[in-house]
Amino acid sequence: MDIEQRPTEMVKFYSGNSLPLELHKVRVVQKLHLLPIEKRLEAIERAGFNSFLLSTRETYLDMLTDSGCNAMSDRQTAAMMVADDAYAGSQSYERMEVQVKNMFAKEYILPVHQGRAAENIVGQAFVHEGDQIPMNYHFTTTKAHFEINGGTLHEIYTDEALKVKSTHPFKGNMDINRLKDVIETYGAARIPFIRLEASTNLIGGQPFSMENMRQVRKVADDTNIMIVLDASLIGENAWFIKQRESGYAQKTMGEIIREMSDLSDLVYFSARKLSSSRGGIICTNRFDLYDQMRDLVPLYEGFLTYGGMSVREIEAMAVGLEETLDNTMISQSPSFIDYFVRKTDGLGLPVVTPGGALGAHIDAGSFLSHIPQQEYPAGALVAAFYLISGIRGMERGTISSVRLEDGSDLLADIELMRLAFPRRVFTLSQVEYAIDRLKWLFDNRRLVGGLEWEKEPKVLRFFVGRLKARGDWPVKLMAKFREDFGDSL
Ligand code: F0G
């Protein structure tokens, strides 16, 4: 293999261990704060037991998300210095357009300020009242945008998808027979598109296989329905195809991504995940689709050559896209996640296997099996883990779901705490710290109790909603921490 393209890999140590070795060096650093547990208790109470409402000043490791917080490369920051300020016709935009065309081989490109802005435009252009939209799984903002336009989502995952412990390499696959059933039941005329999400976020960053995508394409061709690909995590999905699917080991990242793009009629992505701190793209080879979306961009985003992004962000995105094709860069986060997942699995913790993209996912339903789903075990786990470690994860369970018209919660299929691994941000000793504190919490899990709402927003309630602990379990958990760790942070 080209020496420049070596993946971040498990390097054998003389001692017998194997560790994922960082193939980058740290050149710009940011000071972190690890507050004493008493301060962390104050912070999580002030934040309404919602990790979105914590400040990074109160956070040691920010594992909330990879979105907009992957480490930037020296080449990206350098490119930002040569950005061409212009409202229209900026050369920065032209450079980015070249990269998008190179990567996705799509002719018509629309810029937007982030992923959900792309969903707004795709939703407004193609989703109408009564439409049915099959997908491998929803993402929160996707669901909100498609439903607001009158669409109904159908999640067509396989039996493996929601199994916490699995060895299946492609848990993000669609169930082809169920897809055919949904099309037969509702009729192709009511289905504007089939949506595939690369590295399916909410089920643990799990990829789909190229074989599965080809099968979906076949169904789409037979029924004359288009395929929309959410490519926000396409780099990692392509990486897993290269690692796990037969026939792909020798293909380049560029070839695999291109094949996925060729199987799609329309591709959109959040550049906050894919390559930079802001931005997004919609692209297609079909002029008719482009034409239906184009006028919405100046209306909601900005002129067609910036779409709500600054030229500096556009430059960073262009270089970031190019770097996505580099094995060394793209494999870093999955290899650290894999290390975390194997180690916590070995310690008997209920972590989703196999490791996927963007983060490690802990099954809060079994971690805190004594807490009923109506008392939000995933939210409770995130709050408890922050309290005892200063690490901020994200709730991906019933709090991230919605309230039904009858007043009850739509219970999540699976209660997860996500610990994101933004690319090239954490060191292995920080990962070891996370593993160690999580094991302590598991051994003391009976001390953790549930949560209840204090203030619940109507839309996307998980972002700014406030909750409180049921009973005084946080104080008891803190007391046990002090007993075991003394004065240590
Ligand atoms: N699609 C997927 C698959 C995503 O993961 C996200 C964002 C979006 C669309 C929306 O993009 O944030 O730029 O508007 N995921 C983030 C996360 C928020 O933390 O997983 P956005």
Looking at the CA of residue 420, tell me the nearest atom of ligand 1: 19
Assigned domain for 347 exists: yes
Q: Which atom of ligand 1 is nearest to the CA of 233?
A: 3
Are residues 353 and 314 located together in one domain of the fold?
Answer: no
Ligand 1 pocket (Cβ < 6 Å) reads 65, 67, 114-116, 139, 141, 197, 201, 230, 232, 270, 272-273, 280
Sequence-separated (6 or more) residues with CB below 8 Å from residue 12: 18
From the CA of 280, give the closest atom in ligand 1: 13
Query: 67 alpha carbon to ligand 1 midpoint, in Å?
Result: 7
| Atom 8 in ligand 1: residue holding the nearest Cα | 115
Any domain includes 2: no
Q: Considering the entire predicted model, what is its pTM?
A: 0.95
Q: Give me the CATH number covering residue 122.
A: 3.40.640.10
Q: Which atom of ligand 1 is nearest to the CA of 198?
A: 3
Residues with Cβ within 8 Å of 22's Cβ and at least 6 positions away in sequence, in order, are: 8, 332, 424, 427, 428
Shared domain check, 478 and 453: yes
200, 270, 277, 423: residue to mutate for ligand 1 pocket, most atoms within 8 A of CB: 270
Residues 6 or more apart in contact with residue 223 via CB below 8 angstroms: 183, 188, 191
Which atom of ligand 1 sits closest to the CA of residue 114? 13
Q: What is the DSSP letter of 487?
A: T
Nearest-CA residue for atom 18 of ligand 1 = 67
Residue 152 is among the residues annotated as catalytic for this protein: no
143 shares its domain with 222: yes
Task: Return the pLDDT at 1.
Answer: 46
- Using most ligand atoms within 8 A of CB, pick from 272, 300, 417 the residue to mutate for ligand 1: 272
Among residues 290, 325, 360, the one where a domain terminates is 325
The answer to whether the beta carbons of residues 268 and 228 sit under 8 Å apart is yes
462 is catalytic: yes
**Intervals of the chain under pLDDT 50:** 1
| Gap from CA of 115 to ligand 1 centroid (Å) | 6
Would you put residue 193 in left (φ > 0), alpha (ψ -120 to 50) or beta? beta
Cα of 250 vs centre of ligand 1, distance in Å, is 30
- Which of 39, 52, 140, 328 is catalytic? The answer is 140
Among 13, 87, 287, 463, the one annotated catalytic? 87
In terms of residue numbers, what domain contains 118? 74-325
DSSP secondary structure code for residue 299 in this structure: H
What is the number of the ligand 1 atom nearest to the C-alpha of 271?
13
| Strand segments (E) across 40-147 | 108-112, 132-135
What's residue 142's pLDDT? 96
- Looking at 296, 325, 354, the residue that finishes a domain is 325
Residue 3 confidence (pLDDT): 52
Other CB atoms within a 10 A radius of the CB of residue 381 amount to 27
Q: Whose CA is nearest to atom 15 of ligand 1?
A: 67
What is d(CA 237, CA 269) in angstroms, rounded to the nearest whole number? 13
In a domain, 340, yes or no: yes
**58 in the same domain as 79:** no
The reply to whether 278 belongs to the active site is no
CATH of the domain at 343: 3.90.1150.10
Is there a single domain that holds both residue 321 and residue 333?
Answer: no
* pLDDT for residue 488: 87
- Do 42 and 145 lie in a common domain? no
Q: Tell whether 43 is covered by a domain.
A: yes
Quote the Cα angle for 22-24-30, to 5°.
100
Residue-level pLDDT at 4? 59
146 noted as active-site residue: no
Atom number of ligand 1 nearest to Cα 200: 3
CA of 270 to the centre of ligand 1 (A): 6
| Contact residues for 334 (Cβ-Cβ < 8 A; gap 6+) | 236, 239, 240, 355, 356, 357
Q: How many CA atoms lie within 13 A of 188 on its CB side?
A: 10
Is 340 in the active site?
Answer: no
Residue 7 is predicted with a pLDDT of: 72
**Does 210 reside within a domain?**
yes
Residue 106 alpha carbon to ligand 1 centre in Å: 22
Say whether both 222 and 321 belong to one domain.
yes
> Is 290 a known active-site residue?
no
Single out the catalytic residue among 139, 157, 269, 367: 139
Asked whether residue 34 falls in the same domain as residue 116, the answer is no
* The one-letter amino acid at 485: F
| Separation of CA 185 and ligand 1 centre (Å) | 30
Gap from CA of 347 to ligand 1 centroid (Å): 31
Number of domains in the chain: 2
Q: Of 56, 181, 66, which is closest to residue 422 (Cα–Cα)?
A: 66
**396 catalytic per annotation:** yes
The one-character DSSP state at 472 is S
Query: What is the rounded CA–CA span in Å between residue 197 and residue 211?
Result: 15
What one-character-per-residue DSSP string does 319-342 give? Answer: HHHHHHT-HHHHTHHHHHHHHHHH
**What is the C-alpha separation between 80 and 309, in angstroms, rounded?**
13
Q: Give the pLDDT of residue 112.
A: 98
Whether residue 119 lies inside any domain: the answer is yes
Ligand 1 center from residue 457 Cα (angstroms): 20
One domain, residues 215 and 134: yes
